[in-house]
Each structure stands twice: as structure tokens, then as C-alpha cells.
Structure 1
């Protein structure tokens, strides 16, 4: 029996049927996107029970000096101390012992523990408290300030429960995660949320690869683990963004694929040993790609090649590194991380794009820590000189002997000095300043003002909308694309 329908419902059904027939779907109309139901876990209790024994609270103690105002002095250098350092209250004007709190997790049954460097920095005593209530003294194995990771070791007369690292690259925005730690010194606590974003940079540091999450992270959570739903560690809780010091749902965990490599090196060597290519690089932005005639804004653009492995292998300034080893290079940060993870002293094939052609070079990597130990030249003040030519929003003058002497440059050095930048120009918005030195235009060296004019004419004749300039500031080079329309 057909139910009695009101006129409005009958008209609506007729309209729907007509629309369905016009669209060719018949009477059964399916949505363009059929959503699959992904519900929240019924409970996180089983997961919490599984991983809790491997999560630890960390208490550090150090003797610090107090200044005249009575407030204790916090050791400098911790990149996230504003978020997490939890030192005691006002002092009495003399040296005093202060405690700080954090979290960590056991990664092996023989007692290796991962935490943040800033949790244990400056400590002369480190105490580990386990979920069971047992406490053990820990010794520091090694630290890596660049990723804010530290490795500790405790001695136990029995095997310790531990957790393993998962593959952080598999985590997607929207995946469920769970954080555990010692927030605000309240003891073991669990919070849950989702992955809010991937690939975040905070410093930005050369090796930053943060997972952003809305799982509650507060003071004391620092160094604790972020778990996937399989109970694997996919991040180390490191920082929060907050106007008031409390959690507002913007927390950052260093990705496990970074942490696991650091932990392995600290365990084996007591220090990190990263690969070193020996180039200065930047991202290939869309305007740079257009200026170079590249089809895609991908790869790492080489701005300078000092003495080192890359120079020995034939890498040149202006090359775009598109592939390192067996992996394509998406940007400068991607290349930096891949080089860091590559073995030292072994030849790696590197594919570069040079003047429209690809070349494969074999680069034998050095060690970054050794290279960074060398003294870098200091920057020199920008000289004053008369204006010579105005173009591209810049007032330029060719280098003379006086400028070279003031900048500490070789007598044979050439280029055009920026004497003034029009603050309404594109050059100003892209960060060019007085004292910058332009040494290349259109990937060709320039010495005279006429050289730059010729390169601009050539770019216009080739149908380019912009010209690529190599700009040096205090010895630090970078490419900048400026419009010539």
C-alpha cells in the first residue's frame, strides 16, 4: 500500500526524479563523494595500558647562581625553554639547587631513554621515575641540540619495558595520536588528538620536521612520546605555541624518522655524525624557476660552492640539485635532511640541472660537524659610495678598490654594490638591502653596470618576465628573482 503523500512531498519527488533522469542516473542518485565513516576509537585505555610502563618522568637538578634580584638564572641556549623549563621560585641571592621536570621514554630493555636536550641541559643529576613508581639515576649518553634530542642510560637489574619507533612519514593529517608525559609536574598523564599538520619548522632548523598535533601538551610533557594507534612512537613532544604558556591545541613533536637516526648515532658514537655536501642552497621558488626557464619549482638551488666535497665533484653555483642518491629532491630542506642521513666517506650520485641539461656527479660526503668546527669569516659593514645607476628599484655602483678593502674582498673580486633600495620596489619586499653585492645576473658574472643592462636586455629578448640575481651579504649568497617587466 502506497502511503498518502502531501502535495509538496509529491512535487519534490517528481522534481528529484526529473533531475535524476536528466543527469542520467535513473531514480537512484548517489553523491559524488561517498564518505566512509571513521569514528574515534571506542577507548584509548588499552593503548594507554600497553605503553605506560615504557614512559618515564624525568627530574633534573642543578646548582645555579642567582642574580641580585633574587630570581634564578636559567641556562641559555635551550631553544624551547620559554615553553617548558620549570625552575623554582625566587632565590635568596646565592647559589642554589634548582629542579626541572620533563618526560621521556625507554627504547631498549637495557635502559636507553630518549628525551629533549632542553630537559636535561645543564643538569648535574638526572632521576628517572617509572610508571611503577621505581626511581633510577640516569647518565647522559649524548645530545643533539640541532634536533633538541638527548639520550640517557639507566642501569637496572631486570629488563625494562620499552617502546619502538614507527614510521612518521606514514602519518597523515587527521590520524589519531596519543601523547603521554608529566604535564605541570602532575605525574603520568595521557592526552589524545589528531595530527593537525606535517612538516612544520619552528626555528627554522636545518633538520626540523615537526608533526603538529592538537593532543594537549603542557610544561613537563617535553621529551615525552607521541604515539600512533599501534603504540609506536612517531614523535617526541618538544614545543607548543601559546599566548599564555598553557596548551591551546598547537603542539609540536619532532618526527620519529629524525629522532630514531639521532638516537642510533648517540648510542653508537655519543655524538651525531651527519653527512656534509659542502654547498649553500635555497628553495627553487616559482619566480626563480621562471627566471631560470625551469618547468617546475622543485629541487635545491646552489648559491655557493666553497671548498669541500661538492666543489671537488664539480658542483657549481647556479646548479639545481634534483636528485640525491636514489631520491628526488623537493626543496632545500629535503636535500639537507637526506645529506645528513647519508653515510660519510661514501660516493653518492647527485643529479644537477645545469643550463638546461642534466649531469650526474659523484660526491664523496664529508662530516658536517667537522666542517662546522672551522672558523667562518665575519661579515663586514657596507661601505658608502656615490650612486652610479638606478634600475630594478636599486641604486648600484661597481666595486672599486676602496669597497673591496672595506669588505675584506680579494682584489680580483667583482660585482655591483647596492647603494640604495627603493622601499616601494619588489627588491625591497624580497629583502635586498644597502651593502648587498650582486655578482651574477642571468647566471653570468657581472662586473660593470653595462653587464647588468645587457643581461636584462637578453632576458627580455628571451621572453623572460624576471631576471635571476646572485646576491651576497657578508659572504652568504642567495638567488633572488626580480621582475623586469
Structure 2
């Protein structure tokens, strides 16, 4: 046993001596040099290191400046609902309260609150709960269904925290934003994302100009704030694109420049003063450009100008291509309409147009909107004195273009362009504003139209 242990110890000692001799006398010296070099390509999560910054976005200041100015809006409306046996027995149609909720943003210390029109639509009672859990009755000051904006007012005992407006035109794609609202009946909740796109239209009629973000927005966020990293209001969260009704990556906000102009009009005039450019046009693309025989594929092509509009008076012509408005690039119709919606009647805008391949700048004074696309009929215009005198009418609006879907029906009944509509839902109309107000009455499920056709005959139509 002792011999075995002696052999093991001798073997181990020999190995150590052999390895030490090799390292000391035979192995060549290798030096390790550490260098700093910028690689040709960087992973995307290391791009920040290229510029010597490792900081991640900090949203704490923006959140602190916003959460206390975002409120919970409760809307109690009256709904007929399903008829019960008692209703049938007593021959009545009882109304039952229905609760709807959303968010709102305090925009000054006196208690003015901006929210979505669809949040307070058909309201019977309105109340607002602040982030400190105080609840107040709210008064509806005014609404604009076209932009889905509404203005509320509460009377508080103290000055309220509020959010200041930012310039949504200066918001950039890829910029960090926060969405602040009251989803699921919670107090103010903050989510973060980036601006995914601008001038988005969801209607298919180029009538909207939303800011698109990937900040998480859920039911109850409607009317909440979209703010930049400075805590400035750049949008009012309005819609999500989802098949389930919950957030899946796309949300949309009314730009703050549009929302601000709407509420300023409501506060000053009691309604919205919509200025219009006065053109009929469409977005250029490759197919449309090829059809027109031109090389330009970006901008808004002018198909016609509206009679007596600012565009017509300023010399805008058919075949002009609008490339910029107030030095803002116009790639599609939504870029143009979104900028116009932030303006009011008599504002002047500078258009850069391409005419016969040459660029020129034209100043256009926005005129009052005197046209309206009426469902089932087509485009209407305020009637002139000459139009009314022709049909011996004291009031009415003029049909200037029949809608494609119903043009044959109307023409077969003797109704053509130039006919005068005198009443809608038993309400006399003298302007397109009257038409819009008459159509907002949702108490009737039918549409009643009285008009004077092209033969001077008075007719009445009832649609259900």
C-alpha cells in the first residue's frame, strides 16, 4: 500500500515539474491587446451607443404633468330598449337609463374639459370624476360630430390642473408619446408608444386626419390625452382599429391643432366655423398619374373648384397639383384636409402648386363652408337669391350634384341638379347648417324631404 502511494506522489510531482519547465522555457509569449473600434454594422438595440448615449426615454415628468388633468366622464343616456309586457299592456314605451363612460382632458384652470362627441352623445346626465376621486356635475358647452370633439364645463371650488396644448403639426413619426385615460373605470392610466403615422383616414372619404400611434388604448380611453415627452397635448385619443374591441396595436387621435380650433370656435361662436379651400380633388398615385398622362405621383390633383370659393377667387385651376400648404408637404388629400381643419373662415393659407410642370405659390382665403354631402341625395349648396327666385321659393338649399348611388332614382322622379330642398324632417332649411342640424335629430327613424323639382313642382319623399 505504501509503495502505491509513493508511486502516485512521484508521478504527480514529475508532471508539475514538466509543465512548469515547458511554460518557462519553451512557450512563446502571447500579448492580449484591448482596442475600441466602431463596427461597420450595429444591432438595432445598440444604435444609441453609436452616439455615446445609453439613456432610455424618461416619461415621468410628462406623466406627472398629465395624470391629474385627465378625468373620467360618465354619461347617463335614456334608451327605449326592449318593450316589456307592462309596456305592451299599458301602451307605452318606457325609457331606461343607459351608462356610458370615457375620458376627458382639463384644458384650463376654470374647468373646461375636452372629450369625444361619441362619449357624451345623447347624454341625459353628465358627471366628471377627477384623479383625486372628486366628482362634479358637468355641463355640455358644445359639440362637433364631424371631428368627434365635445367641450364640457365643471364648476370646482379651486383652480384645476390642466394640460397645455402642443403643436401637432410639429409632431414627428417615430416620436415617443404617452396615452393617458381612464380605461376600465380606473383612475388615470398611462401607456407609452410612438407616433406610427400622421394624416390617417378611417372613413374612406379622405375626410379625417388622425395621428396613429401604437400606445395601448382600450375602451374608456376615448377622449383622453395624447401627449409628447414634454407633457404637451398633441392629440385626443378617439378610436382603435380592432376586430375584438380591445387594443391590438393601432390607435388614433384627433390632432391637437384641430381639437383646439374646434373648442375655440365653440367657446367664441357657439358652433364650429369651418373654413374650406373650395376644391374637389383626389390623391395622386401611380395609376391615377398614368391615367392623366403625367409623371407626378405625389400631391393633390385639383379636379374642379367650387363656385365663389377662395380657391376659385385666387386662381386655382383644374389640373393644378397641390404640393405644399403653409410649407407643409402634401403627399395625399388627408395632409391637405387635416391642415385646413385646423384653420377657420377668412384665414389665409399659402399653397404651392405645380402647374404645367412649374411651381408657383398662391395665397387662398378660406371661405365659409356652404356645401354639404347629404345622405341619399348628394351635394347641397346654399341657394342664392336668384336660385330661390327662379322657383318662387322663400327658403331652401340647392342640389348641385346628385349622389351616384341614387342619381337614377331622383332623375326618374324629375329631381335634377338645381332642384331646391325646402324642408327636412318637417324643419324648414335655409342653409347647409340647417340641413346638418335637422339630420342630427335622431328621435325619428325616417327621413322626410320636401323639395321643388326641376319642373317647379313641390314634392315630398319619406325614407325609412
Shorter-normalised TM range? 0.5 to 0.7
Change (3 A) 1:189 1:323: closer
Equivalent in the alignment of 1:450: none
CA contact (8 A) 2:280 2:302 kept: yes
Structure 1: distance between partners of 2:186 and 2:343: 41
Q: 1-side partners of 2:213 and 2:166: how far apart?
A: 16
Q: Counterpart of 1:62 in 2: which secondary structure? A: strand
Kindly indicate whether residue 188 of structure 2 is the aligned counterpart of residue 188 of structure 1.
Answer: yes
Cα distance per residue 1:281-334 (max 9 Å; x no partner): 001212433455545323221112342313344433322233445555433222
For the 8 Å contact 1:180–1:188, the answer to whether it is kept is yes
Aligned pairs (5 A) from 1:397-412: 408=416
Aligned residue for 1:226, secondary structure, equals strand
1:107 Cα shift?
0.6
CA distance in 2, matches of 1:354, 1:406: 40
Q: Show the counterpart of 1:31.
A: 40
Give the corresponding residue for 2:16. none
Question: What does 1:182-221 correspond to in 2, within 5 Å?
Answer: 182-204=182-204, 206=206, 208-221=208-221
Displacement of 1:40 in angstroms is 3.8
Relative to 1, partners in 2 of residues 1:337 and 1:218: Cα closer, same or farther, differing over 3 Å? Answer: closer
2:393 maps to 1:378: no
Give 1:162 shift: 0.5
Using the size of structure 1 for normalisation, the TM-score is 0.62
SS in 1 for 2:216: coil
The corresponding residue for 2:367 is 366
Q: Secondary structure at the match of 2:153?
A: strand
* SS of aligned partner of 1:125: strand
Which residue does 2:323 correspond to in 1? 322
* Other structure's SS at 1:333 match: helix
Return the TM-score normalized by structure 2. Answer: 0.65
Q: CA deviation at 1:108?
A: 0.5
Contact 1:147 1:207 in 2 (8 A): no
How far is 1:216 from its partner?
A: 2.2
In the other structure, the counterpart of 2:268 is 268
Give 2:68's match in structure 1, choosing from 36, 53, 60: 53
Helix, strand or coil at the partner of 1:35: helix
Aligned residues: 347
**Residue 122 of structure 1, CA deviation:** 0.8
Task: Show CA shifts across 1:369-392 (max 9, x none).
Answer: x33363544346688xxxxxxxxx
Residue 264 of structure 1: how far off its partner (Å): 2.2
TM-superposed CA distance for 1:219, in Å, is 1.2
SS at match of 1:249: coil
Name the residue aligned to 1:133: 133
Q: Unpaired runs of 5+ in structure 2?
A: 1-22, 24-29, 86-91, 373-379, 382-397, 419-464
Shift in CA distance, 292/206, structure 1 to aligned 2, threshold 3 Å:
closer
SS at match of 1:159: coil
Shift of 1:347: 5.8
- The answer to whether the 8 Å contact 1:114/1:150 transfers is yes
- Looking at structure 2, the residues matched to 342 and 167 of structure 1 have their Cα atoms a distance apart, in angstroms, of 13
Q: 2 CA distance for matches of 1:194 and 1:326?
A: 24
Which residue does 1:67 correspond to in 2?
Answer: 82
Match of residue 7 from structure 1: none
CA separation of 1:266 and 1:205: change in aligned 2, threshold 3 A: farther
8 A Cα contact 2:200 2:334, kept in partner: no
For residues 429-452 of structure 1, the C-alpha deviation after alignment (integer angstroms, 9 at most, x for no partner) is: xxxxxxxxxxxxxxxxxxxxxxxx
Query: What do the CA deviations read for 1:92-141 (whole angstroms, capped 9, x no partner)?
Result: 97311111111011010111111111000110221011111211111112
Structure 1 residues 152 and 226: CA distance shift in structure 2, 3 A: same
The 1-side partners of 2:306 and 2:413 are apart by: 21
CA distance in structure 1 between the aligned counterparts of 2:121 and 2:276, rounded to whole angstroms: 27
Q: Is the 8 A contact 2:279 2:305 kept in 1?
A: yes
In the TM superposition, what are the counterparts of 1:17-166 in structure 2 within 5 Å?
A: 28=37, 30-32=39-41, 35-37=47-49, 39-41=55-57, 44=59, 47-68=62-83, 94-166=94-166
Q: Secondary structure at the match of 1:253?
A: strand
Question: Could you say which structure has the larger radius of gyration?
Answer: 2
Post-superposition CA distance 1:14-38 (Å, at most 9, x none): xxxxxxxxxxxx9956325672146
What does 1:320-359 align with in structure 2 at a 5 Å threshold? 320-324=321-325, 327=328, 329-345=330-346, 350-357=351-358
Displacement, 1:146? 1.8
SS in 2 for 1:31: coil
In structure 2, the residue matched to 1:445 is none
